[in-house]
Amino acid sequence: MPDPMRIRANAQQDGVDVRVLMSHEMETGQRKDGNGNIVPAHFISNVTVTHGGKTVLSAEWGPAVSKNPYMQFKFQGGKKGDEVTVTWVDNMGETRTDKATIA
């Protein structure tokens, strides 16, 4: 099971500010190990953020997103105490879902 995400969701005057830090190797598939073998690509390919059953952001990533990916965005319609859910899937089929309460 992959490590949990760190999610911060803060209600501000002009919307809810969401910051997500995921724990993932984001292996590019370009790198070689000590024996000269290519390390297979392993990266988060899809991210979905939902609030109240509605998707507020979805993302498609390639291996060029940094290790332990970070993203930040802002959406309208959320209020303090609401829940924000973040799910990612990687190219090897691993997945992780975490929730955070809007502060």
Partner 1 sequence: MKTGRREFIRLGGVFGALAAIGVLTEKEAWAQQQAWNKAAFETKNLNDTIKALGGSAVSKSDDITMTVPDIAENGAVVPVGVASRVPGTTQIYILVDKNPNMLAAGFTIPQGTEPNISTRIKMAQTSNVLAVVKANNQFFVATKEVKVTLGGCGG
Instruction: Pick the closest to residue 26 from 81, 63, 74, 51 (CA basis).
Output: 63
From the list 2, 6, 10, 28, which residue makes contact with partner 1 (rule: CB under 8 A)?
A: 28
From the list 1, 13, 35, 60, which residue makes contact with partner 1 (rule: CB under 8 A)?
A: 60
Site for partner 1 in 70-89 (CB under 8 A): 70-77, 89
* Per rule CB under 8 A, count of chain residues that contact partner 1: 37
Burial 64-102 (b: 16+ CB within 10 A, else e): ebeeebebeeebeebeeeeebbbbbebbeeeebeeebeb
Residue 30 interacts with partner 1 (CB under 8 A): yes or no: yes
Q: Which residues bind partner 1 (CB under 8 A)?
A: 15, 26, 28, 30-31, 45-46, 54-67, 69-77, 89-95
